[in-house]
């Protein structure tokens, strides 16, 4: 199967990508004090230089007291972090690539003791107490407005430093997803109850981001059925329910849906070979990004624990077939790109035998 489909340009309004290869967002924790440094700049530059059309940065925290959940994660607010990101943007653009930040709030995943203010608990849809102490602060309506404002401001800042769009992280059991998911959203107000109500926070947030950046600035929305807390979770069970879930998000201002799955080749619903990105494109008419173990023979969860397992490069034949069938528009590559900055170039030149295997060790350094 010829690989040309991966290297055709993609156009959406003012967004022009040289290839269909997208760098998936991957938390790296190499930004002390929340500031991306020269190593981070070089990390992204190298991928753009080797033919990645669109880089989606690692998750970057918005300007809210409880947005962060991990050490050394980059911020997307404040003078020094934004100046660092501006250097990343310039480096990527100089290589002909495009870049968007992934805007992130971890919600109730945050633990007391986490930087920058160790006293701040997680924030979530519903309060949680442990031994009489608040470990998750149940968000008030004012808190909801504060977080929405933080995302809108981050998007505006992204636009002002020359980013090519933004991705809103609505997946994997973080804050926006915690509102979607019945298991974590037990609210009795207009932000809880039905899935339509549980989607209200995301819809208002997307609308605020759109208002902040105006028309024509791409908004990507990442969502997933699975959660960090439950890999078998299903937000919706049928194509009809998926349609009901996605349409209000599309109407609110989403331009591209990034459909997070663990294995891109798995059908989303019985009776069809389409994966989540395939169904999302079919239902919304919007461009979609597929993701999930692209280019590797082992999916990422087995590397979440200490292990000496190695994921070897895998055939792209199934992927290219689906891309040629217009099931989705863009292909996000995660660990294969994390370990090998030249992955796209090697694929394009037919040098699959030179692609590096992935092991947990790759997470310890930025290359």
Residue 2 and residue 288: Cα distance in Å, rounded?
21
Residue 177 and residue 321: Cα distance in Å, rounded?
31
Q: Read off the pLDDT of each residue in 229-253 and give the average, rounded to a whole number.
A: 91
Question: Quick one: pLDDT at residue 307?
Answer: 63
Q: Would the pLDDT of 44 be above 90?
A: yes
CATH number assigned to the domain comprising residue 237 = 3.20.20.70
Question: Quick one: pLDDT at residue 302?
Answer: 53
Q: Read off the pLDDT of each residue in 43-60 and give the average, rounded to a whole number.
A: 98
Q: Is 13 left (phi over 0), alpha (psi -120 to 50) or beta?
A: left
Question: Quick one: pLDDT at residue 54?
Answer: 98
Question: Quick one: pLDDT at residue 88?
Answer: 98
H or E, element range at 311: strand 310-311
CA-nearest of 92, 33, 47 to 343 is 47
Question: Quick one: pLDDT at residue 360?
Answer: 83
| Residues whose CB is less than 8 angstroms from the CB of residue 265 and which lie 6 or more positions away in sequence, other chains included | 275, 292, 318, 319
Through-space distance between the first and last CA atoms of the chain, rounded to whole angstroms: 30
Per-residue confidence band for 318, with pLDDT thresholds at 50, 70 and 90: very high
Residue 183 and residue 172: Cα distance in Å, rounded?
13
Task: Enumerate the H helices of the chain as residue ranges.
Answer: 38-49, 79-94, 141-160, 175-180, 195-198, 200-213, 239-252, 276-284, 317-324, 335-339, 343-348
173 or 230, which is more confident?
173
Q: Would the pLDDT of 256 be above 70?
A: yes
Residue 53 and residue 50: Cα distance in Å, rounded?
9
Question: Quick one: pLDDT at residue 331?
Answer: 98
Residue 262 and residue 228: Cα distance in Å, rounded?
12
- Contact yes or no for 102/55 (Cβ under 8 A): no
Cα 123 to Cα 7, 131, 272, 319, distances in angstroms: 42, 18, 38, 38
Q: Read off the pLDDT of each residue in 175-179 and give the average, rounded to a whole number.
A: 98
Q: Read off the pLDDT of each residue in 201-229 and give the average, rounded to a whole number.
A: 94
Cis bond before residue 37 (omega within 30° of 0): no
Average pLDDT in the chain: 94
Strand-by-strand arrangement of the 128-130 sheet: 122-124, 133-138, 128-130
- Each residue's pLDDT tens digit, 107-162: 999 999 999 999 999 999 999 999 999 999 999 999 999 999 999 999 999 999 99
Question: Quick one: pLDDT at residue 7?
Answer: 97
Question: Quick one: pLDDT at residue 359?
Answer: 84
In the chain, the percentage of residues whose pLDDT exceeds 70 is 96
Structural domain including 25 reads 3-364
Domain count, the chain: 1
Question: Quick one: pLDDT at residue 299?
Answer: 56
- Each residue's pLDDT tens digit, 222-240: 999 977 666 677 899 999 9
CB atoms within 10 A of CB 80: 12
Question: Quick one: pLDDT at residue 313?
Answer: 84
Three-state secondary-structure class, residue 75: strand
- Each residue's pLDDT tens digit, 60-97: 999 999 999 999 999 999 999 999 999 999 999 999 99
Tokens of 313: 């490069």
- Contact yes or no for 121/112 (Cβ under 8 A): yes
Dihedral of the CA atoms 275, 280, 285, 290 (nearest 10)?
-60
Q: Would the pLDDT of 301 be above 60?
A: no
Question: Quick one: pLDDT at residue 238?
Answer: 96
Lowest mean pLDDT among 5-9, 239-243, 313-317: 313-317
Q: Read off the pLDDT of each residue in 203-216 and give the average, rounded to a whole number.
A: 98
Question: Quick one: pLDDT at residue 3?
Answer: 93
- Contact yes or no for 73/27 (Cβ under 8 A): yes
Three-state secondary-structure class, residue 216: coil
Query: Is 191 annotated as catalytic?
Result: no
CA-nearest of 307, 293, 292, 290 to 362 is 307
Backbone CA torsion sign across 126, 64, 208, 292: negative
Residue 168 and residue 59: Cα distance in Å, rounded?
9
- Each residue's pLDDT tens digit, 322-343: 999 999 999 999 999 999 999 9
Of the residues 44, 174, 191, 231, which is catalytic? Answer: 174
Question: Quick one: pLDDT at residue 306?
Answer: 58
């Amino acid at each position: 199967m010829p690989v040309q489909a991966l290297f055709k340009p993609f156009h959406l309004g003012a967004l022009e990508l040289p290839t269909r290869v997208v760098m998936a967002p991957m938390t790296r924790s190499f930004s002390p004090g929340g500031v991306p440094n020269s190593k981070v700049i070089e990390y992204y530059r190298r991928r753009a230089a080797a033919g990645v059309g669109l880089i989606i940065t690692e998750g970057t925290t918005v300007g809210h007291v409880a947005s962060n959940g991990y050490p050394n994660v980059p911020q997307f607010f404040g003078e020094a972090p934004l100046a660092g990101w501006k250097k990343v943007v310039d480096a990527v653009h100089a290589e002909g690539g495009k870049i968007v930040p992934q805007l992130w709030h971890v919600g109730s995943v945050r633990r007391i003791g986490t930087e920058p203010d160790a006293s701040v608990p997680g924030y979530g849809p519903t309060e949680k107490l442990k031994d009489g102490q608040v470990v998750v602060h149940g968000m008030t309506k004012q808190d909801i407005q504060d977080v929405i404002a933080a995302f809108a401001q981050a998007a505006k800042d992204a636009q002002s430093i020359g980013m090519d769009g933004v991705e809103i992280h609505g997946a994997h059991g973080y804050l926006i997803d915690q509102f979607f998911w019945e298991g974590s959203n037990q609210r009795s107000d207009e932000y809880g109850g039905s899935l339509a109500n549980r989607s209200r926070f995301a819809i208002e947030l997307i609308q605020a981001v759109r208002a902040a950046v105006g028309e024509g600035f791409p908004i990507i929305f990442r969502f997933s059925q699975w959660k960090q807390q439950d890999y078998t979770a299903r937000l919706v069970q049928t194509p009809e329910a998926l349609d009901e879930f996605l349409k209000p998000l599309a109407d609110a201002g989403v331009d591209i849906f990034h459909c997070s799955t663990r294995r891109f080749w798995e059908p989303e619903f019985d009776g069809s070979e389409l994966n989540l990105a395939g169904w999302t494109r079919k239902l919304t008419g919007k461009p979609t990004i597929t993701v999930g173990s692209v280019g590797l023979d082992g999916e990422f969860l087995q590397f979440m624990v200490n292990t000496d397992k190695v994921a070897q490069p895998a055939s792209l034949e199934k992927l290219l077939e689906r891309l040629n069938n217009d099931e989705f528009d863009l292909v996000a590559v995660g660990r294969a790109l994390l370990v090998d900055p030249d992955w796209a170039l090697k694929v394009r030149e037919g040098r699959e035998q030179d692609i590096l295997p992935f092991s947990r060790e790759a997470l310890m350094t930025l290359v």
